[in-house]
Amino acid sequence: MSRFIGVLLGVFLPPVGVFMVAGLGLAFWINLVLTFFFYVPGQIHAFWVLAHTRNDGRRADDGMQTFIALLTAFFLPPLGVLFKEGFTMSFVINCILTLLFWLPGSIHALWVITED
C-alpha cells in the first residue's frame, strides 16, 4: 500500500492508517486511545507513525522532515510542499490548487510529500 493512502487514512481515520503501517502493535493502541478521546492528537500521532515508517516497515531516514512537512501541509498546503520539495513546479501547482480550493491543495500536498 502506498504511503499516500496511509496518510489519507491517517487524516480521516487515524487508527486505520496506523494499523496499515504498524499492525496491531503498541502504536496502534496508543493511536486508538488518542483518537477516541482527542481526535486531533490522534491525527498528529498517525502523521508521526506514518512519517517515521516506510512501506516495508523499516524506519524512515527523513522521518522528522516528513512529519513537519505533513503537519504544515495539512494546514497550509503550499508551505508543506515548499518545505519538502523547495521552489519547484509542484509548489506552483499547489499554490494554484490551494487558491482555488483548500481541499485539493491539501490532498496534492500530501501526495507530493509522500511520493518516494
Q: What are phi and psi of 56, to 5 degrees?
A: -90, 5
Please tell me the predicted confidence (pLDDT) of residue 52. Answer: 81
Evaluate if pTM is beyond 0.85: no
The set of residues, in sequence order, having a beta carbon less than 8 Å from that of 99 and lying 6+ positions away, is: 105
71-87 core/surface letters (b: 16 or more CB in 10 A; e: else): bbbbebbbbbbbbbbee
Please tell me the predicted confidence (pLDDT) of residue 55. Answer: 63
Neighbouring C-alpha atoms within 13 Å toward the C-beta of 27: 22
- Cα angle vertex 28, ends 1, 8, to 5°? 40
Q: Residue 94 — pLDDT band, cuts 50, 70, 90?
A: very high
Query: Where is mean pLDDT largest: 1-10, 59-68, 83-92?
Result: 83-92
Per-residue pLDDT of 23-75, as tens digits, reads 888 889 999 999 998 888 888 888 888 888 766 666 767 778 888 888 888 88
pLDDT at 82 over 70: yes
Please tell me the predicted confidence (pLDDT) of residue 83. Answer: 86
Distances (CA, A) of 59 to 62, 63, 101: 9, 8, 34
Q: Which residue has 527523513 as its cell numbers? A: 62
